[in-house]
Structure 1
Amino acid sequence: MSKNGPIALLFNALVIAFMMAPLVIVCVVAFTPGNTLSIPTTQFSLRWFKAVFAHSDFVQSFKNSLWLAFLSATLATAIAVPAGLAIARHSFPGRNFLNGLFLSPLIIPHLVLGVALLRTFSLIGATGSFFWLALAHVVIITPYALRLVLASVEGSDRSAEQAALSLGASQATVFRRITLPMILPGVTGGWLLAFINSFDEVTMSIFVTAPSTVTLPVRMYMYATESIDPLMAAVSALMVALTAVAMLVLDRVYGLDKILVGHK
């Protein structure tokens, strides 16, 4: 180990501790038996987790967020796969512009997108529609799916595809039986990343949700404007657990290291 090794390890440990501390504190606070946001020292209770499931608005908002995230992530991935294949494997006029267009939501503040989409939906009479809300989420989560699909496509070996084509297989057959299985880790990782970002989205959703389509993050924001109690910590802990389980499953099935580098 070099002389700077211990310093680098200490620095990394401090960064990880700084990033994880808020999540750990929120999860611990969720088990308090009291009525205030305090860390339990002698007693732990599931009181506030029971209160979450007994709160009909939170339960319905969770269902809305789950269905919305599933639908929007699926649509975003359906867009990202052909777009990623076209951008990574073909040269055509406007290729860089198309790539930049798909990734542009990453640099546009969600507040601006929310205001713009609210005005657009008002003009076309689409306010309050769950489908249009899903399309709004597709706009902001497609870049996450596209980046992982691109990485997977660029890291794949095309020799098997070329061999299949030379033996008479159709483009559709090659895609279904060779291309898609090769890039599946990136596609799955992109879908999950899109799902998580859609599920957690709040800034833009505040502008385009209706009373019947309120998502869980928006419900939490609305609740926090009226009352701050451990119920919010319990909901946050459940969201952290859901995200952690999703990432663990993905890691067990495909391996996060393979997904991030784009190799099967």
Structure 2
Amino acid sequence: MQKNGLLALIFHTLVVAFVLAPLVVICIVAFTPENTLTLPTTSFSLRWFKAVFAHPDFVASFWNSIWVATLSATIAVVFSVPAGLAIDRFAFPGRDALNVLFLSPLIIPSLVLGVALLRLFALLGVQGSFAWLVLSHAIIVTPYVLRLVLSALTGFDRSAEQAARTLGASQWTVFRRVTAPLILPGITGGWLLAFINSFDELTMSIFVTSPSTVTLPVRMYMYATESIDPMMAAVSALMIALTACAMLILDRAFGLDRVLIGKG
């Protein structure tokens, strides 16, 4: 048994190292003072981080991504919470079809979805619209929110809701004061996953962005086609840091185990 446990520990350590190694390399290279992506580096410098913040295109694209990710994740929550409640609590014709519809972006390749949305926006005459870009991102991140909302509702003890109704609380008051706080870890975790996926989305965004709405991943892709230098590593390191900070805040506020399991 001890030998099997040791082998399992070694295996899991190698898997974690394999996953984290590229991220660690990127973060180290981001601090190089050299003009090329080299490792090992002779010294450490903030040169390329300063270059990122001094590059107006990267700064503008960063804020575009922040706004798109924030709005799309919020829209996904607005649609997923009532949809999750309906799917979990009511048996109605088309319930399974509704569930499949909301989850379908997970099985549709981003390339196919991007081409389809590009054609749709061309027919509607709204190419390059910021609002439609946000809607496109909301479509692809909604499944993440819905799955965590449904997970939070699984095994949900409705006795507190019934007690509130018995005391005369309205349906909206019950939801606001009882249901929502109990499933808040699932909602928050879904919002965060939606935000991260929207912020990192590249394939679909290439088709639906315009020069005025270029997101950060698209800007990085465009920059990489022209030049490969440590600035790309610096931008990547900043994105890794942003994601890590978001996960840390979520863990401190609710606990990642509660969020991922979806239990209040």
Q: Same fold (TM over 0.5)?
A: yes
Does the 8 Å contact 1:30/1:230 carry over to 2?
A: yes
- Give me the whole-angstrom Cα distance separating, in 2, the residues matched to 1:139 and 1:244: 24
Shift of the alpha carbon at 1:198? 0.3
Aligned length: 264
Shift of the alpha carbon at 1:2? 4.4
Report the counterpart of residue 31 of structure 1 in structure 2.
31
- Give me the whole-angstrom Cα distance separating, in 1, the residues matched to 2:144 and 2:176: 23
Amino acid at match of 2:242: L
2:170 is the alignment partner of 1:170:
yes
Report the counterpart of residue 122 of structure 1 in structure 2.
122
Alignment of 1:189-200 (within 5 A): 189-200=189-200
Shift of the alpha carbon at 1:156? 2.4
Report the counterpart of residue 83 of structure 2 in structure 1.
83
2:158 is the alignment partner of 1:133:
no
Report the counterpart of residue 148 of structure 1 in structure 2.
148
Report the counterpart of residue 48 of structure 1 in structure 2.
48
Does the 8 Å contact 1:105/1:140 carry over to 2?
A: yes
Shift of the alpha carbon at 1:42? 2.8
Alignment of 1:244-263 (within 5 A): 244-263=244-263
Report the counterpart of residue 207 of structure 1 in structure 2.
207
Amino acid at match of 1:62: F
Does the 8 Å contact 1:62/1:216 carry over to 2?
A: yes
- Give me the whole-angstrom Cα distance separating, in 2, the residues matched to 1:177 and 1:133: 34
Q: TM-score of the superposition, structure 1-length normalised? A: 0.98
CA shift digits 1:24-61 (9 cap, x unpaired): 00010000100010124331000000000000000000
- Give me the whole-angstrom Cα distance separating, in 1, the residues matched to 2:146 and 2:154: 12
Secondary structure at 2:75's aligned position in 1? Answer: helix
- Give me the whole-angstrom Cα distance separating, in 2, the residues matched to 1:58 and 1:155: 45
Report the counterpart of residue 159 of structure 1 in structure 2.
159
Does the 8 Å contact 2:29/2:41 carry over to 1?
A: no
- Give me the whole-angstrom Cα distance separating, in 2, the residues matched to 1:165 and 1:206: 49
CA shift digits 1:154-206 (9 cap, x unpaired): 14211100111122211011000000000001000100100000000000000
Report the counterpart of residue 95 of structure 2 in structure 1.
95
CA RMSD, 1 decimal = 0.9
**Residue segments in structure 2 that go unaligned for 5+ positions in a row:** none
- Give me the whole-angstrom Cα distance separating, in 2, the residues matched to 1:236 and 1:41: 18
Report the counterpart of residue 61 of structure 1 in structure 2.
61
- Give me the whole-angstrom Cα distance separating, in 2, the residues matched to 1:5 and 1:257: 24
Amino acid at match of 2:76: A
- Give me the whole-angstrom Cα distance separating, in 1, the residues matched to 2:155 and 2:128: 42
Q: TM-score of the superposition, structure 2-length normalised? A: 0.98
- Give me the whole-angstrom Cα distance separating, in 2, the residues matched to 1:24 and 1:255: 25
Shift of the alpha carbon at 1:63? 0.5
Amino acid at match of 1:88: D
Amino acid at match of 2:52: V
Report the counterpart of residue 216 of structure 1 in structure 2.
216
Q: How high is the sequence identity, in percent, across the aligned residues? A: 73
Does the 8 Å contact 1:66/1:199 carry over to 2?
A: yes
2:59 is the alignment partner of 1:72:
no
